[in-house]
């Protein structure tokens, strides 16, 4: 297959571009790192969420601030982690943290692009489009000798015009209504062992019936923390029969890994992309009978 290009390259920032814009007052950079401490012996609580703030305080990309996904950008009244809050509440939270129309927002992480893509989709669903993910991990940035610091940064409150797209993040009713529909592919972004029912992390073994599996990490160069080439990514989807005339409903354990598959699909020109918020966490706890080995 000949090389192709990303459809929306403006949403992906290279190391060189960011290095050249580190001191640009119209660019605001955010570390989005969050850690999951898995406890497979307790399916009712498959992981504990650990903020990446401590690591940020030690070292981060120069002039970047920290975004705490669970503490500041999720519904903390929900029994599930990373639940999307009310859109108006979410927009206010982003504004308080410095996201605004006057700035280009760059999102990065030190442990996988999925943390940056999750927040990218949250902002995109609010209608904010002056943003990008950094194509590579903090560790690779540091390894290449680009500027880092330990100074804690905060951005002043800003404002942006909200134009909500409520078709991106979907609930269990949308999933149930999409099963066995020829025009829809339900895509699991979790690892193969979970998809195949060999890992009980989320309670009952298995997957949503009829769903396909492209583990999120297969779309990245794990060593460098960057995306694989567009051609490599497209080949993975085509091998599963996922063509761009289909609606693709992405799910995982909590709506994080699925955001990476969704972002790559978006960059490949797929038009109908959805992310199941809460995903298997919700299914496991309420006992909806949509799992099988």
pLDDT digits (tens, 9 = 90+) for 29-49: 999 999 987 776 666 666 678
- Mean pLDDT rounded to a whole number for the chain: 90
Euclidean distance between CA atoms 65 and 60, whole angstroms: 8
For residues 195 and 274, which has the higher predicted lDDT (pLDDT)?
274
Nearest to 12 by CA among 116, 99, 112: 116
Residues whose CB falls within 8 Å of the CB of residue 54, separated by 6 or more in sequence, listed in order? none
pLDDT of residue 50 exceeding 80, the answer is yes
Euclidean distance between CA atoms 143 and 220, whole angstroms: 18
pLDDT at 287: 42
Are the CB atoms for 74 and 122 separated by under 8 Å?
no
pLDDT digits (tens, 9 = 90+) for 225-263: 999 999 999 999 999 999 999 999 999 988 899 999 999
For residues 75 and 259, which has the higher predicted lDDT (pLDDT)?
259
Euclidean distance between CA atoms 39 and 49, whole angstroms: 11
Euclidean distance between CA atoms 133 and 18, whole angstroms: 10
* Section 277-285 average pLDDT: 57
Can you give the pTM of this predicted structure? Answer: 0.92
* Section 69-91 average pLDDT: 86
Euclidean distance between CA atoms 63 and 248, whole angstroms: 37
Maximum Cα–Cα distance across the chain: 52
Where in the sequence of the chain do the CATH 3.40.250.10 domains occur?
A: 9-149, 169-286
pLDDT digits (tens, 9 = 90+) for 175-208: 989 998 999 999 999 978 777 766 666 656 678 8
Question: Which range has highest mean pLDDT (134-148, 169-183, 272-286)?
Answer: 134-148
pLDDT at 2: 66
pLDDT of residue 166 exceeding 90, the answer is yes
Neighbours of 23 (CB within 10 A): 9
The percent of residues in the chain predicted with pLDDT above 70, rounded, is 88
Are the CB atoms for 198 and 207 separated by under 8 Å?
no
pLDDT at 289: 44
pLDDT at 49: 82
pLDDT at 83: 81
Tokens coding 71: 């503490």
Scan for tokens 């390259």, then name that residue: 9
Are the CB atoms for 64 and 97 separated by under 8 Å?
no
pLDDT at 273: 98
Q: What are phi and psi of 185, to 5 degrees?
A: -110, 130
* Section 136-141 average pLDDT: 96
Burial 184-207 (b: 16+ CB within 10 A, else e): bbbbbbbbeebbeeeeebbbbbbb
The percent of residues in the chain predicted with pLDDT above 90, rounded, is 74
pLDDT of residue 284 exceeding 60, the answer is no
Euclidean distance between CA atoms 273 and 262, whole angstroms: 6
pLDDT of residue 291 exceeding 70, the answer is no
Residues whose CB falls within 8 Å of the CB of residue 289, separated by 6 or more in sequence, listed in order? none
Provide, for the chain, the percentages of residues in helix, strand and coil under a 3-state DSSP scheme, each rounded to the nearest 5.
30, 20, 50
Tokens coding 63: 């002039």
Euclidean distance between CA atoms 247 and 272, whole angstroms: 5
CATH number, span 169-286: 3.40.250.10
**CA of 13: how far to CAs of 51, 98, 135, 173, 274, in Å?**
24, 19, 6, 36, 23
pLDDT at 290: 45
- Ranges 134-138, 201-205, 208-212: which has the least confidence: 201-205
pLDDT of residue 53 exceeding 90, the answer is yes
Nearest to 97 by CA among 169, 158, 185: 158
pLDDT of residue 117 exceeding 60, the answer is yes
pLDDT at 157: 98
CATH number, span 9-149: 3.40.250.10
pLDDT of residue 3 exceeding 90, the answer is no
Are the CB atoms for 199 and 233 separated by under 8 Å?
no
Scan for tokens 């339900």, then name that residue: 186
């Amino acid at each position: 297959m000949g090389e192709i290009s990303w459809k929306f390259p403006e949403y992906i920032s290279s190391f060189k571009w960011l290095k050249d814009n580190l001191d640009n007052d119209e660019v605001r950079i955010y570390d989005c790192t969050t850690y999951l401490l898995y406890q497979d012996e307790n399916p009712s609580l498959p992981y504990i969420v650990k903020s990446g703030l401590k690591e940020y305080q030690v070292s981060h990309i120069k002039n970047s601030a920290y975004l705490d996904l669970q503490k500041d950008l999720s519904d903390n009244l929900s029994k599930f982690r990373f639940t999307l809050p009310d859109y108006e509440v979410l927009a206010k939270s982003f504004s308080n943290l410095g996201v605004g129309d006057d700035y280009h927002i760059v999102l990065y992480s030190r442990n996988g692009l999925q943390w940056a893509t999750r927040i990218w989709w949250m902002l995109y669903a609010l209608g904010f489009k002056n943003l990008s993910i950094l194509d590579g991990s903090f560790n690779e940035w540091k390894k290449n000798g680009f500027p880092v610091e330990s100074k804690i940064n905060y951005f002043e409150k800003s404002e942006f015009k909200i134009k909500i797209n409520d078709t991106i993040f979907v609930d269990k009713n949308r999933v149930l209504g999409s099963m066995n529909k020829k025009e829809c592919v339900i895509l699991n972004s979790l690892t193969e062992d979970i998809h195949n029912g060999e890992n009980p992390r989320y309670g009952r073994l298995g997957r949503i019936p009829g769903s396909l599996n492209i583990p999120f990490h297969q779309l990245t160069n794990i060593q460098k923390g960057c995306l694989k080439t567009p051609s490599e990514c497209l080949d993975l989807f085509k091998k599963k029969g996922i063509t761009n005339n289909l609606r693709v409903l992405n799910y995982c354990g909590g709506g994080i890994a699925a955001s990476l598959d969704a972002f790559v699909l978006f960059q490949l020109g797929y038009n109908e992309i959805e992310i199941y918020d809460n995903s298997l966490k919700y299914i496991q706890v309420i006992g909806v009978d949509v799992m099988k080995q």
